Each structure stands twice: as C-alpha cells, then as structure tokens.
C-alpha cells in the first residue's frame, strides 16, 4: 500500500487530470526544437484572435424567490422540548414575534440596486532524459496529488502551457495534439494505456478549445491555475470585484449569544462525497496502478492482501452499493427524528478517464432514488459536487451555450431530480447555474452555491472568471433581502472556499461577502476534502474578530485510507431567542477494517464536538479559541488529528510541518493566502518544535550521563573526573 502523505490532500481526482496535462505537455516541450520555445521568454505574448464572450442579460431581481416556509414542524416524541416557547406555535405568529423583537433595526422596505455603468515506442534524444530529471515528474505528481504546489510544478505548468500555445500556433490539429498527449502518457508510463487514452480524449478537446481563445502568458495562466504556489502574478483579465448595495452594515456584536439550553432545535443530517461505484467488485485488485481500483477491470490481486474487501477498501477504491445501502438503513433506523438533510455532492466514482454523461446521470438518478426511499417526507437540500459533470470539473458558464459543450444536460436533469424536495421557485437558478435559495422556516433560509465556479480545475474559467453565472452577485442579492427580512442564513456547497482548489479571486470576493453579512450568515457547510474538519473566517480588517465558521463534513467514500462517515448537527430551532447557530455536532463512522474482518459493519458515534474539545458553544469565537488551543496543546491536537482522519488505522504520523498545514487549513477561509493568516501559528509551532527538540536532546544527554555513572567499573576519566 502506498504511504499516505502526512498532510491533507483534496479528494477529487482533478489531480490526475492536472498532473497528466502539465507533465505531458512539459515533456512535449522538450522534444521540440529549442529555437521554438517562446514560453522561455515570458515577456513575449503571442497574438491570438480572441473576443470577449458575449454575456447574456440575466436580471437577478426579476427571478422568483422562495418566500413561503418549506419545512413543516414535526413533533418528535423522543424530544422533551419540541414546542415553541410561547404563543400557539403558528408560523405567522412566530414570524410576527421575530419581527417585533429583532435587534437589527433596518428599513422595512426592500431596496434594489443597479450599477449598469460598471462592466463587470517513442525514442527521446539524450537531452530529454536530463530534462525529465530536471522537471522531476514524480515530484510534480506528489504535489498535485496533495495540492501542495512548489516551483517544480510551476515550472512544469509554464513549460507545458507555453508549448501547447506554440503547437496550436504552428498549425497542429486537435486530433494530432490529442494523439500526442496519449502517446507520451503511455510511453512515459505515467498511467496505463487505457487511462492515458481516456484522459486525452475526454479532456484534450476542452483544454485545446479554451487555450485557443485566451490571451494569457504561461506565467499568468499558471498563476491563475496553481495560485500562490506559482507566484502572485498580476492578471488584469482575472481581476474583478463584486458590487455591494448602498446599505450600511449592521453594527457587529462583541460576541454572539450562546444558544439557550433546552430550547427547540433541528436535527440535521449531513452526507457528502458518496462516490458510489456501481462496478465495485469484492475480491478484485485493490492495489492497481490506476486512479481507481477494486473493479473487475483492475485485474486479479497479486496477493490475498491485495484483494478488495466486502464493504470497501482503504486503498484507491470508492464505495460499494451494499455499504451505501447499509449506511442509509442505519441512519433511518438510528436517527428517526431527522428534520432535514444537507447533501453536499460528489456522487459518481473516481474513474475520471472512463466517464460518460449518460453514466453520471444514471448514478445521480439512482442515488436520488435511494435517498427518497430511505427518507420519505424529509426535505433534502442538495449541492453540486465537482464529480457530477463528465468530464470531471467541466462546468462551462451560461455564455458557453453550444449544444455539444453546454452544461445544460446536467443542470436540467438536476432541476428535475431536486424538485422532489425543493419548491418550484428555484428552477430558474438551478437551470442557470445549479444554485438556489429556499426559505426553510420563518426567519431561516438555506442558500446552496455551485462551488464549481470557483474550481481552478474548471478550465472554462480561463475564458472569463468574472463572477461566472452571476452567482456571487445573486448571492449578495439574496443575503441583502434576507437582512431586510431579518432572516438568518445557512450556506451549503461542495468545495470549501478556503481550499486550494478554489480560485483566489473568487475566494477573495466570497470572503468579503461573508464579512459584510456576518450578522445574517450563521453557518456554512461543505464537503470535498473527505476529512472531518472546519474553516474559519475573520474580519478582513481585524483578524482578531472571527465572524463565521464553515463545517467540512466527512466523506462516505473511504477513498483513500479513510473510514466512511457522516455528520449530524443540532441547530437552534424555532423560538423567540433563536440564533440559528449550530448547537453541537456529532461525527459517525464505520470501522472499515473490522467490517471486512468480521463480515458486518457497525456504525458508531466517533465524537461530539463540544464534549470532545471542551467547548461551551460552537460560535466562531469558540472555534477560534479551539484553534489557539490546538496550536499550544499537543495532546488536544493529536485528538483532533485522530478525528480528522475519522480514526483510520491507516493514518500516518503527523510532524510539525503536518501540524502547521492542518491548523493553517482551519484558519484560512480565503484560499491561496496562507501567509496572511498563518504566520503567527507557524512561528508558534516552530518555536514549540524547537523547544521539544532541545528538551529531547538535553534529556538524552542527562540519561546517558546517569547510565554511565551507574557503571562503577568504568575508568574515572571517562566520567569526566581527573
């Protein structure tokens, strides 16, 4: 089994695609005449005929909104406090009380704003072998696999993208370029022949289409894709700002109130990253040389230990149907009082070289059917993952409307499937960009975002990254309307906005939105990483003021080295003093090793946040205090690390660099900006690590001297005596 690196890695197989494209194109650059290497001269920019995509007119204020409460209250017999604290409990009376006691005195009339004026068998020459060693493709693979980019990957990106631009200008056809990519991939043993061919066919056409239409230098392109690991290159094509309405921000509180004990609450299930594999085969090869194993096509296992388990496997394998079914049955039986479900995407498996639109749609329909059957009558609020599209990460904005490359095939079907749980008012935004807003209860709204418009592996954003699908501007409109109506909002999505997979410019704008509406947004929920973790948000002008918390739920898929898991949240419910904050949360897992060993899985509660970390509440300030304790308390950090890996027996040890990375991930709700948030944390850990090393060294000297002193027959001069 391959050793898992001792720091977090994103779990979408977008890494394979980026690796192969960068590595292969970098190699292509070396077998061409040295005189034809324009990418070595970064100030030279080739002339490309390119026109700004024509943006369609979409008026946010004209779209229907969800204004009727979508969730009916249910009196669960096992709850001792499930009724409203006063009045007859009707929605109308409850809403009227909320309006009468609201703390933020804002105008009762709706204000709309406009800013029309603001546009927003190959034989290589000897020098190729040397160049391959120089580029260090293994290092590139490791960095992309773990989203830890350095100058090595940056160099490969610049060489590959520059060479691709050169090959396009030299008149190579799309078919020739795709064939070259496939051949080099196979002959360099980067992947198996079928994976190389599949990736080249699936992704080559899209990448070539985009590169032909952009006017970016290799420096600008790679800085855009890789982020701060490739330098912070100013790129005027991809610098933009959202527009806020002319409404003053409500005064912020010194700290949020702690939710009342024994008050009504909602019990919320969070499922993420199922990655259901319909082709999983027990006993097949789990240790193959492809991105996804545990299938009949993976071949026979070389040893009994390499065989795929009955309920899943810690190696690069996704979730068998029996495991998904068993988990849903367990949840339905154990948590009979669930009020609603958050479902944050990534349904298809990681066979990214072999996917079709038809197969991905079939998986979406089958998993939706499973959820409907297991949880009848329970509202489900879904968010779109990066694996739902075919090819993976491909989400063209609305202005890309050609039939053969438009994303409408996916969004139209999502509207049909999601309509089982969502009101009709969301159809316009779901079909436009797979995002929506629903009023769940009086004074409480859920907004689901399509985080693929911040995905830096979504090549379409190279054409124009300016607020794709106008999603963030719509988000501001919904939040401002919620602020006027005294509603609290929960935000759900797939890719966490502070993750390295999220574009820096998109994340920066999102961070500003969270800060502006900190009194309205009371929690955020994401998936994607497959780990059990969280992200912090702070006032951009005052990093001592935490203003929001993003909960990142564990994956159902064990891909890879993980136990399957899910989360349960307890959210402040309907009462006069409700905060809509998360009161507490539980993480539940299944020990995959024991399930395969004994033939039957047992799901159990791994931990409860407040009890495990001794937190008095789960406000942003409480999570910030926990971060400080994790930095200073090694024993507490090791507990967090255990839960982060979902108590996996395959988890590696965590050294000082690993600890810095994990805590910085928690602290950085804004992507590609670790230097801004993590300097203090890193210096504290370095200092503590230095103290630990010195303590170990001196303790070792003392013990050695004591040992020598206890041996009486040694000559005195060896003991330092004269």
> Is position 494 annotated in a ligand binding site?
yes
Cβ(535)–Cβ(668) below 8 Å: yes
* Residue from 9, 329, 354 nearest 199 by CA: 354
Cα-to-chain-centroid distance, residue 420: 26
What phi and psi, each to the nearest 5 degrees, are found at residue 605? -75, 115
Instruction: Give the DSSP letter of residue 182.
Output: H
Rounded to whole angstroms, how far apart are CA atoms 169 and 160?
14
Identify any residues that bridge with 463 across adjacent strands, giving them in sequence order: none
End-to-end CA distance of the chain: 57
> Is position 70 annotated in a ligand binding site?
no
> Is position 275 annotated in a ligand binding site?
yes
| CA distances for 490 relative to 239, 251, 443, 449, angstroms | 28, 20, 11, 11
State the sign of the Cα–Cα–Cα–Cα dihedral 213, 217, 218, 222.
negative
Instruction: Give the DSSP letter of residue 633.
Output: -
> Is position 530 annotated in a ligand binding site?
yes
> Is position 279 annotated in a ligand binding site?
no
What phi and psi, each to the nearest 5 degrees, are found at residue 483? -65, -45
> What SS3 state is found at 585?
strand
> Is position 273 annotated in a ligand binding site?
yes
Cβ(252)–Cβ(548) below 8 Å: no
3-class SS letters over 477-493: HHHHHHHHCCCEEEEEC
**What percent of the residues of the chain are helix, what percent strand, and what percent coil, each to the nearest 5?**
45, 10, 45
Identify any residues that bridge with 266 across adjacent strands, giving them in sequence order: 571
> What SS3 state is found at 665?
helix
Q: Is 325 exposed, middle or buried (0-12, 13-18, 19+ CB in 10 A)?
A: middle
> Is position 354 annotated in a ligand binding site?
no
Rounded to whole angstroms, how far apart are CA atoms 612 and 321?
32
Task: Cite the annotated binding site for Zn(2+) by residue number.
Answer: 273, 275, 346, 386, 494, 528, 530
Task: Cite the annotated binding site by residue number.
Answer: 273, 275, 346, 386, 494, 528, 530
């Amino acid at each position: 089994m391959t050793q898992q690196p001792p720091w977090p890695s994103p779990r979408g197989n977008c890494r394979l695609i980026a690796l192969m494209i960068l590595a292969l194109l970098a190699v292509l650059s070396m077998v061409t005449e040295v005189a034809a290497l324009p990418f070595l001269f970064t100030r030279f920019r080739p002339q490309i005929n390119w026109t700004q995509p024509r943006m369609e007119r979409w008026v946010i204020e004209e779209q229907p909104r969800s204004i009727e409460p979508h969730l009916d209250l249910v009196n669960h017999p096992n709850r001792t406090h499930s009724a409203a604290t006063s009045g007859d409990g009707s929605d109308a009376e409850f809403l009227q009380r909320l309006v009468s006691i609201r703390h933020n005195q804002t105008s009762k009339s709706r204000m709309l704003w406009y800013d029309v004026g603001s546009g927003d068998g190959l034989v290589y020459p000897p020098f190729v072998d040397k160049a391959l060693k120089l580029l260090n493709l293994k290092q590139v693979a490791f960095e992309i696999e773990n989203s830890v980019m350095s100058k090595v990957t940056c160099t490969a990106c610049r060489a590959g993208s520059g060479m691709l631009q050169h090959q396009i200008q030299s008149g190579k056809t799309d078919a020739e370029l795709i064939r070259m990519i496939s051949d080099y991939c196979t002959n360099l043993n980067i992947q198996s022949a079928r994976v190389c061919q599949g990736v080249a066919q699936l992704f080559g056409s899209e990448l070539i289409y985009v590169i032909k239409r952009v006017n970016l230098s290799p420096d600008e392109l790679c800085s855009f894709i890789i982020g701060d690991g490739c330098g912070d290159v100013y790129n005027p094509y991809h610098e933009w700002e959202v527009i806020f309405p002319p409404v003053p921000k409500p005064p912020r509180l010194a700290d949020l109130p702690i939710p009342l004990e024994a008050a009504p609450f909602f019990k919320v299930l969070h499922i993420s990253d199922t990655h259901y594999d319909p082709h999983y085969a027990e006993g097949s090869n789990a240790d193959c040389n492809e991105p996804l194993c545990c299938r009949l096509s993976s071949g026979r296992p070389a040893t009994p230990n390499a065989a795929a388990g009955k309920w899943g496997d810690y190696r690069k394998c996704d979730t068998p149907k029996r495991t998904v079914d068993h988990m849903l049955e367990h949840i339905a039986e154990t948590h009979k009082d669930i009020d609603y479900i958050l479902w944050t995407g990534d349904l298809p498996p990681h066979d990214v070289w072999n996917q079709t639109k038809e197969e991905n749609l079939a998986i979406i329909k089958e998993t939706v059917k499973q959820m409907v059957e297991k949880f009848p009558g329970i509202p489900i609020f879904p968010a779109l993952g990066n694996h739902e599209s075919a090819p993976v990460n491909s989400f063209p904005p609305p202005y890309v409307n050609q039939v053969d490359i438009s994303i409408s095939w996916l969004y139209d079907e999502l509207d049909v499937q999601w309509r089982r749980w969502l009101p009709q008012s969301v159809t316009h935004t779901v079909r436009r960009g797979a995002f929506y807003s629903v009023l769940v209860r009086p004074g409480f709204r859920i907004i689901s975002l399509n985080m693929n418009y911040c995905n830096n592996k979504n090549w379409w954003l190279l054409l124009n990254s300016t607020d794709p699908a106008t999603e963030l501007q719509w988000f501001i409109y919904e939040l401002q309307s919620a602020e006027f109506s005294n509603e609290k909002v929960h935000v759900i999505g797939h890719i966490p906005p502070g993750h390295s997979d999220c574009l820096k410019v998109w994340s920066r704008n999102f961070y500003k939105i969270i800060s502006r509406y900190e009194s309205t947004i009371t929690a955020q929920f994401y998936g994607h990483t497959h780990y059990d973790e969280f992200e912090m948000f702070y006032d951009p002008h005052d990093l001592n003021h935490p203003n929001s918390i993003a909960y990142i739920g564990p994956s159902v898929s064990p891909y890879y080295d993980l136990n399957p898991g899910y989360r349960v949240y307890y959210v402040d419910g309907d009462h006069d003093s409700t905060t809509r904050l998360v009161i507490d949360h539980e993480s539940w897992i299944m020990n995959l090793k024991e399930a395969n060993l004994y033939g039957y899985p047992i799901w159990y509660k791994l931990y409860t946040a407040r009890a495990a970390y001794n937190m008095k509440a789960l406000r942003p300030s409480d999570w910030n205090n926990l971060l400080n304790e994790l930095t200073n308390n090694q024993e507490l950090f090791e507990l967090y690390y255990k839960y982060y890996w979902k108590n996996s027996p395959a988890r590696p040890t965590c050294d000082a660099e690993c600890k810095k990375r994990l805590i910085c991930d928690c602290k950085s709700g804004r992507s590609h900006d670790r230097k801004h948030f993590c300097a203090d944390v890193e210096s504290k850990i370095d200092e503590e690590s230095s103290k630990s090393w010195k303590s170990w060294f001196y303790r070792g000297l003392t013990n050695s001297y004591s040992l020598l002193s206890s041996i009486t027959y040694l000559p005195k001069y060896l003991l330092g005596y004269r």
